[in-house]
Every structure is written in structure tokens, then in C-alpha cells.
Amino acid sequence: MSIKTVVWVLKSSEKKSINMTKQEILSAFQFRHACKEFDSTKKISNEDFEFILETARLSPSSFGYEPWHFIVVQNPELREKIKEGAWGAPLKFDTASHVVVCLAMKSELTRYDSPYIKQFTKEVQKLSDEYIARREKFYENFQKSDFDLTDDRKLFDWATKQTYIAMGNMMTAAAMIGIDSCPIEGFNQKLTDAILSKDFGVDTNKYGVAYMLAFGYRKNPQGVKTRRALEQIVTWM
């Protein structure tokens, strides 16, 4: 069996194949680390950052409902505003080429009977009315019985979990093209939501901050990556 992995890239309706070895893919995972300070003189191209965002857009989510929104914060004054509630952001925000604030949907949008779900299944997923009616019943049972998603906090936490899939994909995609990143959870959630409402126009009845991501090019050498051995984290049955 060939060790080649084929990655398909769609660009301008033209399909191209890029051959990457398994080792090249693992090298990208070794390259990725939480970069604490970036080289502020180096900027990510628009094309490269749109590629990173596209991997977020194509990320999987439960039932395919995409419970997220991404704000790319390039305005220096708005970065300063966010820093007021984010103790983990200052050096990263000051030096990063691009900053992303990820919002997770709240129960007003993710509850089984929400207008968003009805609109999404019809206009985005383009399901038939008959299929939508059956799916609504299934989705209601899933929330109420299977996952006990029965209050606002549980629904928000469930949506937030899904946004982390997009985070992982963005960071890995960035690493594969030589771009560094740093995930940020060092913030006061209530204070940050208040800033997003006041200064960014975010409807915090519908969205709450999940995490922040900084992207750029490293200023300092990467430290040694430490991980437990595979046999310590995997059990074969």
C-alpha cells in the first residue's frame, strides 16, 4: 500500500490533488504549538487566511447545524477592547497577524424548536418539508432524552464543544502551510461577552464567546513538544 495520502483542494471550480506523505502530515502536527509571541513584522496573506477560514467553514458539527460564528479582529482599537476582558491575550494580540474570536450559539438558536434550526434545514440543507418534520421529532428526542440538553447552559456548552472541532482544523491547516497559532481561553467570559455586545454589536442573547485564536509567524524557536506515549492514551479491546 502506498504511503501517500491524497488531499483534494477545490479552487475556482478546478479540482487538484496534492500528494502528502503521512510523515509530512505528522510533521505539521509537530510544527503546531501554542505560539505565545509572533513576529509582528510578518503578515499572513489574504489567500492563506481565507484558506484557514475555509477549513473552519467545512468542519463537522452535530446534525450539521454549524453552531458558530467567527469574528476576525484586525482593528487595533477593537483588539484593545477585547484585551480588557482577556488576561491571556495581550502579547499575542499585540503581535499576531490575525485574531479570531469564536462565538458559540446559545439556546435561542440551538434548541430543537428554534427558528434558526427550521430555517437552516430548509434553506441551507434543503430538506423536504416531510423530512424536516421527522427530523424535528428526532432532534427533540435527542436533546431531551439522549444528551439531556434541557437548559440554556447545557445547550451552550454543547455548542461550544462543537466549535473546538473548527479550532483544531484551523490550527492544523495553518501548520500545514507554515503558519503558527495560539488558542486562548484566558478571559473572563461574562466581561468578554459584555464587551462583544457593547463594542462589536454581538447579540449575546444568541451568542457567547467560546475561545479566541491568534495566528501569525513565530518570533522565537519552538520548545520540545511533550506528549504521553500512544499506549498510555489508547486501549484496544
Strands 68-72 and 98-105, bridge-based pairing: antiparallel
Model confidence band, residue 20 (pLDDT cutoffs 50, 70, 90):
confident
3-state secondary structure 212-227: EEEEECECCCCCCCCC
User: What residue ranges define each of the domains in the chain, with the CATH number in brackets?
Assistant: 37-112+153-221 (3.40.109.10)
pLDDT > 60? residue 3 = no
Distance separating alpha carbons of residues 55 and 172, to the nearest angstrom: 9
Residue 13: pLDDT band by 50, 70, 90 thresholds?
very low
Closest CA to 111 of 71, 159, 72: 159
Question: Phi, psi (5° rounding) for residue 34?
Answer: -80, 95
Contact 107, 157 (CB under 8 A): no
Please report which confidence band the pLDDT of residue 182 belongs to, taking 50, 70 and 90 as the band edges: very high
Q: Quick check: pTM over 0.75?
A: yes
Cell of 80: 484593545
What integer pLDDT is reported at residue 6 of this predicted model? 46
Distance CA 100, CA 150 (A): 30
Q: How far is the C-alpha of 29 from the C-alpha of 44, rounded, in Å? A: 19
- Residue-wise pLDDT for 154-167, tens only, equals 999 999 999 999 99
Question: CA 178 → CA 8, 101, 175, 181, distances in Å?
Answer: 19, 21, 5, 10
Query: What is the percentage of the chain residues whose pLDDT exceeds 90?
Result: 92
pLDDT of residue 8: 43
What would the pLDDT profile of 65-119 be if each residue is shown by its tens digit?
A: 999 999 999 999 999 999 999 999 999 999 999 999 999 999 999 999 999 999 9
- Taking only the tens place, the pLDDT of each residue in 183-210 is 999 999 999 999 999 999 999 999 999 9
pLDDT band at 10 (very low <50, low <70, confident <90, very high): very low
For residue 12, pLDDT over 60 is answered with: no
pLDDT digits (tens, 9 = 90+) for 39-60: 999 999 999 999 999 999 999 9
Q: How far apart are CA 235 and CA 60, in angstroms?
A: 25
> C-alpha grid cell for residue 1?
500500500
- Report whether 208 contacts 193 (CB < 8 A): yes
| Per-residue pLDDT at 216 | 98
